[in-house]
Structure 1
Amino acid sequence: MTLIQSPPTTIAHQKHARSVGRKHQALMLMFGVTAIILGGLGGRLAYLQLMQGHQNREMAESNRIRLLPKQPERGKILDRTGKILAGSRLSHSVFLWPLAQKKAEWSQTLARVSQILNIPVADIQKRLEQEGYNSPYRVRIARSISPQKVTALAENIGELDGVQVDAEAVRNYPNGDLAAHVLGYTGELTDDDFKKHPQDNYRLGDVIGQMGIESAREQDLRGEWGGQQVEVDGAGNVVKILGEKQTHAGKDVTLTIDLDLQKAAETALGNRKGAIVAIDPNNGAILAMVSRPAFDPNLFSTRISEKQWERLQSTDHPFVNRALQGYPPASTFKIVTTTAGLESGKFSPDTVLATSASIRVGGIDFGDWNHAGFGPQGFVGALTWSSDTFFYQIGMGVGDQTLIQWTRRFGFGQKTGIELGNEEAAGLVPDDEWKQKEVHESWFLGDTVNMSIGQGFLQCTPLQVAGMFAIAANGGYRVKPHLLKDNEAAQTWREALKLKPETVRILHEGLHGVVNGGTATAAFSGTDLAIAGKSGTAEDFGRESHTWFGAFSPVDKPKIVVVAFGENSGGGGGSFAAPMVRQVLEAYFHPDKAQKKQAEVVAAPRD
């Protein structure tokens, strides 16, 4: 029997066939996994590119591209002849790049910067956090640093990632504290400032006017930011400038102030507490405005500490513009009482009244200032000698309503319209309604008596008093005081009070008599100027009296009104305030002599 065996190749072929099938399965599995992974990656890539591409590009660019903002130069403030009252100077400031380091890495850098600049770490960190650690903008942490600090930072700059020293313009007031209350000062925005200007595109570290013209004309003076967009390397170094936007300097602002006359007024007032105002009575242009005590606005070109700020605030309120605050006007107000008496028709220009040591009203004796009276007097004589008992009778004769009406027509009890309106008091013209509300009493005849000589509840600012003298000077026109030389609307704005020619004549003769033979003769003895004026001494119960003197010149065609005010100065208006007015008037009409005298004062040795 023959056995038939299968060839070996058949068995080998069967084993090979099974191996081949499994290998294909493994390859297919590997291909599948790969496809899934690639598909996932592709999908994610597509998502990142298509769905989040813009956002991711911004994040990448923010790490590579940064903005170097450049602050514009602030516009200059000029006097009426173009002399600089406020300008700019170059200074060094210190900035931080928030993106230069991670949040956790800043501590060591801040500690070193704090040591060099002598600024608390907490203050620097607060400013960095306000801007944000992911901000591409620089953060200013110090302004106007000393050359020594610039050198110290330069020597350590390799260890101070994200710290940069750069030159920029800072505000400069070449005359120090001269006209400080008119000009104001600038400072970096506070949190409150940000809230007040939400739509004005301010940034952290911006400089803004804080008072005076700097604040009132902020939008003109501030200018427009510019800067560079730059590419930086991993170390934060600029490798390429990608683009630049030019800054636009702020507009210059020209004031009506005369620098030389301002200097003369500042010298006249000296260190005494009070104010001096000089205006053109024909159009209301303010030629000089002084308030004391004052401050040096240059102090705010660098950041001051809270202790420095508190120290400045504690010394007799130097930031208060006393030319715009209310005080009882005293006998200067007899200009209004004269006008009310004559314009009411209840008293004729020829009226003569007996004056005496005092008159009794409602059981109270109201005395004359000389405790004797001046005998029979008309309006001119009563103004010349400032007889209180004469004007008591005029006030009672016209009545409280007429006197109050004329007081308001002269501009008292309301703001003048000056550009510094946020800092100006309206003053107070009291009446029966006000007294019942505030004092819980009705208006008495004695209130009218007090008001007739500028006492009682009446409150007027030195600027308002200057406006009153302007009405007497220019023949009966109420002008609008203004500081902007190019403010044509204010320059030409005048309201005619339609005074009778006889009223204007009596005011001129009576006020001229004050200086020539009356209460202020001694103060103006020897002057070659034709001056008309009036003094005032206001009681301030429990403290020294306030003193006033106002004047205009020349009498026939007045060009200037000057009012001087002494806060709790004591003495009398004729002895304390009148010499200051004379000094300013002579500086205006004889500038060469005034400048020579000013130079002598500056050159004089000091103890």
Structure 2
Amino acid sequence: MKKPVALKDHQRERRTFTNRVMLAFAVVVVFMLVLVARLFYLQVIEHDVYRTLSDSNRVQLQPVPPTRGLIYDRNGVLLADNRPSHNLTLVREQVGDQEALEATIKQLASLVEISERDVERFYKRLSQRRRPYQSVPLKFQLSDEEIARIAVNYHRLPGVEVEAELIRYYPYTGSLVHALGYVGRINERELARVDAQDYSGTHHIGKLGVEKFYEDRLHGTVGLQKVETNARGRVLRVLERTDPIPGEDLQLHLDLGLQLVAERALNGQRGAVVALDPATGGILALVSAPGYDPNEFVTGISSKDYRALQESDDLPLFNRAIRGRYPPASTLKPVIGLAAVDSGTVSLGYDIWDPGYYQITEGGRRYRDWKRGGHGRVDLRKAIEESVDTYFYDVGHRMGIDPMSDYLQRFGFGQVNSLDLPEDHAAILPSREWKRRMRNRPWYPGDSINLSIGQGFMLATPLQLATATMAIANRGQWRVPRMLKAIEGDENAVVVPEDKQHPDIKLKRERYWDYMIEAMEDVVHGRRGTARGIGRDLNYRIAGKTGTAQVVGIKQDEEYDAEALAEKYRDHGLFVGFAPAEAPRIVVAVVVENGGGGSSAAAPVAREVFDAFMARELTEVVAQEEQG
């Protein structure tokens, strides 16, 4: 019989099992070695790298915005303040994807009132943010109740914070907006022209006026802080901090009391008032009426409200004081008179017979005087006092355009004269070259006649009228009009650059100044002066000149009838002057749009400003404004 064969080879199976165990053990050992090696690499070799990355998740570097400098008037009254505002913000990366972001906004809307406009502005800011993990405001100026509602729901709102910041506040709202300007949310175009790092924590920038011109002094320098955050990104503690440097405080020449008096004197009429200090060129008042509330622009005005301002017939956004271009009318006559005698065109004793009109040639066109019957025998002094057009037609025709344009340029027309009003307009000073360039036509004698009474192509701003009048008050000494008086109390910090300096006006004889100032005194105090209505009961003397600027032309044989015209076509009333006439301390220029004659519309406004300044009751005006 054959030997039976075993069904299992136990020895072979034992050997196979042993080999498999050894192989598995070797694989485990290899993986363990790889794991230990990787652990060693991460924990030892790359320790510094991953510690830094870990700290980056736990520690963040945040910019600390500086406090914006304050703005005061000449008497220390606060004109532009900073007030705390608590804003609802979101960090996009901590909220989640777009679906989570929309859900979070919807959830927030159930806690506080969030309008569609708030959401639209949020997404616009989100698209413009400058770096990841930057918080983006959704709603500004939360109430205490709204803050409490959000606080108790923090655990359900990842990426949501209530952040406090200081925002600009203008306590006198529309009364100063055209003088100060305002700040608003910074945009990409503005960010491109500033130091992006210095503005990394700043949401606002000066948009207009003083706020814009002195932005580099008002803004300050950004600070930095290292903060420890939790998994949700909320700040647990501040580890290190470099404090920001606050912006510098500015003191202006502006006198708030005088500003309020000038605004009230306009009594709701469209127009402008500019008051200057002839000793320094400081702008004591700069009113453009109507105005608007700049506080609405700080956090962002609604499209509806902004459109209403844009479409208003009264043009509240338009700064009439420095951008309004008006025919200067008879307020130009003192400069034309000085030009005529100083250029040698006529002498001080030159006179004419005024029949009520002027003709270049016998039987030609009649350029009519405002007084139909004429003024009889007229010299320069009488021509200023009674504003005799015919006299200036005559000397303007004799002088021609070249001397007139030259002297008007010396008095600051056709150029930007202010130091720190960035929106200041040069207006129009016509000349022979200007007409050929702009109209492609030669200069005609009739153009000179129109220019001699401040009509025709000539346009000037109220600030230019005040500046030229200041030059007369100072007998030719030039002062650059400026808003800034001192930086943090240091008046020496105000420097006029060379490109803003203007030469003094030198006349051939000093007595021409005295003659013109006396003639301008007659305008207010003379028996036939065009502004004699404001000269009554004065205990000081004003030197001034009225003007009535035509808005539409009147045919030669027609008479001006204001009642027959729509208001926007009626004459503008103008007045320029200074007081006290013998030692000027204030210069005033007034334009009342469509107000009629300068003597009836503009001169009374100037009288109120002069009276308030001379009486020094301005502190009471400010107190009443603060109480009311």
Measured in 2, the distance between the counterparts of 1:66 and 1:214 equals 32
- For 2:51 and 2:308, locate their aligned partners in 1 and report how far apart those are by CA, in whole Å: 51
Shift of 1:466: 0.6
**Structure 1 residues 427 and 52, CA gap change in structure 2 (3 angstroms):** farther
SS of 1:348's equivalent in the other structure is coil
1:566 equivalenced with 2:575 (yes/no)? no
Aligned counterpart in structure 2 of residue 512 of structure 1, from 515, 521, 524: 521
Q: Distance in 2 between matches of 1:238 and 1:256?
A: 44
Deviation of 1:287 (Å): 0.9
1:241 aligns with 2:238: yes
Distance 1:239 1:437, change over 3 A: closer
Q: Pick closer, same or farther for the CA change 1:265–1:563 going to 2, 3 Å.
A: same
Distance 1:549 1:203 in 2: 48
Counterpart code for 2:495 = A
Find the counterpart in structure 2 of residue 535 from structure 1: 546
Alignment of 1:124 with 2:130, yes or no, is: no
Matched, 1:106 2:96: no
Distance 1:554 1:49, change over 3 A: farther
| CA distance 1:51–1:428, shift in 2 (3 Å) | farther
Amino acid at match of 1:583: E
1:539-589 Cα offsets, whole Å, 9 max, x none, are 1117111111011111111111011111222x1001100011110111111
AA in 2 matched with 1:497? I
SS at match of 1:166: strand
Partners of 2:502 and 2:19 in 1: how far apart?
105
Which residue in 1 is equivalent to 2:218? Answer: 221
SS state of the match for residue 177, structure 1?
Answer: helix
Q: TM-score, normalised by structure 1?
A: 0.88
Structure 2 CA distance for partners of 1:68 and 1:197, relative to 1, 3 Å: closer
Aligned mates of 1:276, 1:579 — CA distance in 2: 12
Q: Tell me the distance in 2 between the aligned counterparts of 1:452 and 1:551.
A: 19
Larger radius of gyration: 1
State the SS of the aligned residue for 2:427: coil
Greater Cα shift, 170-179 or 195-204 = 195-204
Distance 1:408 1:51, change over 3 A: farther
CA contact (8 A) 1:228 1:245 kept: yes
How does 1:201-600 map onto structure 2 within 5 Å?
Answer: 201-203=198-200, 206-226=203-223, 228-315=225-312, 316-325=314-323, 326-361=325-360, 363-421=364-422, 423-486=423-486, 488-490=494-496, 495-499=503-507, 500-517=509-526, 518-541=529-552, 543-569=569-595, 571-592=596-617
- Deviation digits for residues 418-442 of structure 1, max 9, x if unmatched? 3012x11111111222222322321
1:497 Cα deviation after fit: 1.2
Q: Distance in 2 between matches of 1:266 and 1:236?
A: 51
Deviation at 1:597, TM superposition (A): 7.3
Per-residue CA deviation, residues 258-307 of structure 1 (Å, 9 max, x unaligned), is: 12212211221232111101101232111111111101122234332211
Match of 1:6 in 2: none
Q: Secondary structure at the match of 1:576?
A: helix
Q: Which runs of 5+ in 2 are unaligned?
A: 1-8, 487-492, 554-568
Alpha-carbon separation, structure 2, partners of 1:41 and 1:313: 72
Residues 305 and 411 of structure 1, relative CA distance in 2, 3 Å threshold = same
Query: Which region of structure 1 is more displaced relative to structure 2, 406-415 or 244-253?
Result: 244-253
Q: Go from structure 1 to structure 2 and tell me whether the alpha carbon gap of 1:185 and 1:602 turns closer, same or farther (over 3 Å shift).
A: closer
* CA pair 333-130 structure 1, distance change in 2 beyond 3 A: closer
8 Å contact from structure 2 (residues 67, 166) kept in 1:
yes
For 2:571, what is the secondary structure of its paired residue? strand
Q: How many Å separate the matches in 2 of 1:598 and 1:125? A: 42
Q: CA, structure 1 residues 296+212, in 2 after alignment: closer, same or farther (shift >3 Å)?
A: same
1:332–1:454: 8 Å Cα contact kept in structure 2? yes
Measured against aligned partners, the alpha-carbon deviations of 1:75-103 in whole angstroms (never above 9, x if no partner) come to: 10011122111111222212223343322
Worse overlay, 500-509 or 432-441? 432-441
Q: CA deviation at 1:160?
A: 2.0
Which amino acid letter does the alignment assign opposite residue 265 of structure 2?
A: A
Tell me the CA shift for residue 71 of structure 1: 2.8
1: CA distance between counterparts of 2:251 and 2:624? 29
CA distance in 2, matches of 1:29, 1:160: 50
**What amino acid is aligned across from residue 72 of structure 1 in structure 2?**
P
Secondary structure of 2:175's match? coil
1:402 partner letter:
P
1:141 maps to what in 2?
138
Go from structure 1 to structure 2 and tell me whether the alpha carbon gap of 1:186 and 1:257 turns closer, same or farther (over 3 Å shift).
same
Contact 1:349/1:502 (<8 A) preserved: no
Match of 1:86 in 2: 80
Query: 2:22 matched to 1:27?
Result: yes
Matches of 1:350 and 1:45, distance apart in 2: 107
1:5 is aligned to none
Aligned partners of 1:125 and 1:45: how far apart in 2? 46
CA offset at residue 310 of structure 1?
1.3
Residue 122 of structure 1: CA displacement? 4.2
1:206 CA drift (Å): 1.0
> Compared with structure 1, are the counterparts of its residues 85 and 538 closer, same or farther at alpha carbon in structure 2 (3 Å cutoff)?
same
Q: State the TM-score, normalizing by the size of structure 2.
A: 0.86
In structure 2, how many angstroms separate the alpha carbons of the residues matched to 1:241 and 1:445? 77
User: What is the CA RMSD across the aligned residues, in angstroms?
Assistant: 3.1
Q: Indicate if the aligned counterparts of 2:402 and 2:432 stay in contact, CA closer than 8 A.
A: no
Equivalent position amino acid for 1:585 in 2: F
1:349 partner letter: L
1:495 & 1:557 partners in 2: Cα distance? 22
The 10-residue stretch of structure 1 (192-201 or 306-315) with the greater mean CA deviation from structure 2 = 192-201
Shift of 1:200: 6.0
Q: Deviations over 1:160-216 (max 9, x none)?
A: 222121332221112222221111111111233223436563247611111111111
Q: Find the aligned partners of 2:599 and 2:345 in 1 and give their Cα distance.
A: 31
Distance 2:293 2:13 in 1: 101
- The 1:200–1:255 alpha-carbon spacing in structure 2 relative to 1, beyond 3 Å, is farther
Is the CA contact 2:257–2:622 (under 8 Å) kept in the aligned structure 1? no
- Identity in percent: 33
**Is the contact between residue 67 and residue 137 of structure 1 (CA under 8 Å) also seen in structure 2?**
no
Q: Distance in 2 between matches of 1:249 and 1:337?
A: 50
